[in-house]
Amino acid sequence: MSIKSFVQHIEDNIYQKELIYRSILVARNSKECYALKMMLEKNDHSAMIVEYIDTDHNYNNIDNRIVIMCYDIFHKFIEHLDSCEEGILNSSYNFIAFSYMMDATTVDSLVDYYVSKTHNNANNTIILEKNYADFLYLQRCTEA
């Protein structure tokens, strides 16, 4: 899977079908973050890359609808939203996508962390990762 197909899956399966307020896209490295940002902006999406957590920044009230980050700061970002911005369950982020280029063990660990932190995803955030994308593809094939 490529970065292009990842962005296309987000466009086709999420942004065109769901009401998304803010998104978190988790990438495997900085190079992928910048490629995602370029592709999203080419499709008229406002995106920013979060390279470190600015504790004075309120990420629930930014001008950008999409934040992109490397997987290694995802925990810190969620912790910041939970402890400094009215709690993770009140967050303005309702979509998280994990790059298809990331290894499954890392993605599973990050999803487990988020689900645990949000009490089994009590805020009903849409989580897109490769297994879910494969499920959507199979679902479309059986509907055809």
Residue 117 near residue 82 (C-beta atoms within 8 A) = yes
Closest by Cα among 108, 56, 106 to 80: 56
DSSP 23-72: EEEEESSHHHHHHHHHHHHHTT--EEE-SS--TT--GGG-S-SEEEEEGG
The whole-model pTM stands at 0.90
For residue range 85-97, list pLDDT tens digits in order.
889 999 999 999 9
Instruction: Please provide the distance, in angstroms rounded to a whole number, between the alpha carbons at the two ends of the chain.
Output: 23
pLDDT of 112 higher than 90: yes
Closest by Cα among 9, 5, 33 to 95: 9
For residue range 26-45, list pLDDT tens digits in order.
999 999 999 999 999 999 99
- Please, what sign has the CA dihedral across residues 77, 133, 10, 122? negative
Residue 139's pLDDT is 45
Domain count, the chain: 1
Q: Do the bridges between strand 126-128 and strand 93-98 make them parallel or antiparallel, or are there none, so unpaired?
A: parallel
* Residue 96's CATH number: 3.40.50.300
Parent domain of 81: 3-143
- The mean per-residue pLDDT over the stretch 96-115 comes to 94
